[in-house]
Structure 1
């Protein structure tokens, strides 16, 4: 099973260090979250920079809030990132849930699901080199990956799982322990069969971690609370933070047992020495 790293967001200047260490080590993926009205680096710009500083590791959005993006520009940006990275880009995508993000982007919060469905049809058409629409020609460049980058859908609602079968390559499950994630994985597999898709969906789990001295753990707890404050469940989210090598190994093993193809360990503190600590703990 593959192990990826979710990148911290509160000190962007350190992310090149994170990326180079991870690329030199055993990790499979670098993930980065997306928000508009928050103090985080823009993920596509950041991942393009990190892709240029690495040679092996994949880069992935976890997840990009597509409805707040202009669709034609998003198609061009993601195709460019896939092309420049040599096909190492995975588009984790979802609808988001913050009203302020939608207000800032000028979109209707209540139509974001329908907007995403419309966007996905257009993205696939553009990535395949077809015209954007009537009186508008193709939008390049063509991605390195035929048909466009790999797409993983995040979310918990039935509509999110249904999109895996209709549009995607797999599912990215975040913020749930293995016992609860198992049900979502089985639901995704059932949707995949409903749409008569060949093979099986790729199943990716995410867990929040902080390995290191007390200062690293405290920084991670602070960042988790800050990020999830809008949900009213920030304290619940901090209780799921894995802070020992034993806890991390147990979680990875449990996700493996329910069929995960990859586990992305999301690091909420900027301490880059966590790359080496996690490698030592797992490999």
Structure 2
């Protein structure tokens, strides 16, 4: 089992500190979420900065709302970040669930799934060199692509276009989602198996109250879901270790520990737990 560190969005100027601490180990990945109508840093810009501040750890969007972006530019940005980071970039993609993000970008939320499929076809062509849009990514065929999803049509997208699955569901739901992804993967005739990456919200010590408030603010539009998400946050080393074991038993390759508190010392506390 590998471990990732999901970065908080409250203080963008502190992200370099977080990234350097994570780069010292034992984390494999740094994840950063995406929204438009929210007070968060733009993830591709922020991760480009963090790529220059690190040497080892991977950089991952978790997840980038692709239908809000023009595909040729997105393909060029992703290839550039992959190339300049030495192949350390993972493009995590999703369609987003907020109408205000689509309103701000002039996109139609009713077409978001179809748009993402069209975008992936175009970006794969670009990354293959077929359209003359460079630079070439560090990895042949483009950077690693993971999809965040819950519904079957979106889970099928993992098998059709991706390298793996980003699962933001609680561990008690994850097993069925993993099984569906692997079923769709085999149905598409894909070799090997998809990468399975899970995500949980965490906070330790003095950062718990701040993290809980941040979750409630971010998911406030969802009503009860916001409170349930805050309640499910892992707040002790024992909870984190037990959840990691459960995801390992389900076949997860990586568990991203997503922090909502702004104190960079959380990185060290979490490193002690998983180290």
Which consecutive unaligned segments of at least 5 residues does structure 1 have?
Answer: 132-137
Cα distance in 2, alignment partners of residues 281 and 118 from structure 1: 42
- 1:251 lines up with 2:243 in the alignment: yes
How far the C-alpha of 1:160 sits from its partner, in A, is: 1.0
Once the two structures are superposed, residues 226-274 of structure 1 have per-residue CA deviations (whole angstroms, 9 ceiling, x without a partner) of 1111122211110111111111111111110100000000001111111
Measure how far apart 1:173 and its partner are.
Answer: 0.3
Cα RMSD (Å) of the superposition? 0.7
Listed as ranges, the matches of 1:1-150 within 5 Å are 1-131=1-131, 138-150=132-144
1:212-231, aligned counterparts within 5 Å?
212-213=205-206, 216-231=207-222
- Rounded to whole Å, the distance in 1 between the matches of 2:149 and 2:213 is 24
Q: What's the secondary structure of 2:138's corresponding residue?
A: coil
What per-residue deviation string (whole Å, max 9, x for no partner) do you get for residues 130-189 of structure 1? Answer: 11xxxxxx1111111111000000010111100011000000001x22121011000100
Separation in structure 1 between the aligned mates of residue 221 and residue 60 of structure 2, nearest angstrom: 24
The residue that corresponds to 1:239 in the other structure is 231
Runs of 4+ in 1 over 2 A off after TM superposition: none
The CA deviation string for residues 91-114 of structure 1, in whole angstroms up to 9 with x for no partner, is 000111110000111011100111
- Point out where structure 2 has 5 or more consecutive residues left out of the alignment: none
Distance 1:177 1:162 in 2: 20
Residues 1:169 and 2:163 aligned together: yes
Shift of 1:212: 1.9
Shift of 1:275: 0.9
SS in 1 for 2:240: helix
User: In the alignment, which residue of structure 2 is the partner of 1:211?
Assistant: 204
Q: Supply the distance in 2 between the matched residues of 1:25 and 1:197 (Cα, whole angstroms).
A: 33
Scaled by the length of structure 1, the TM-score of the pair is 0.96
- Is the partner of 1:50 in helix, strand or coil? helix
**Equivalent position SS for 2:96:** coil
Residue 252 of structure 1 aligns to a residue whose secondary structure is helix
Distance 2:9 2:149 in 1: 21
1:204 is paired with a residue whose SS is strand
SS at match of 2:139: coil
How far apart in 1 are the matches of 2:49 and 2:111?
A: 32
Q: Deviations over 1:52-99 (max 9, x none)?
A: 100000000000000001111101100000001000000000111110
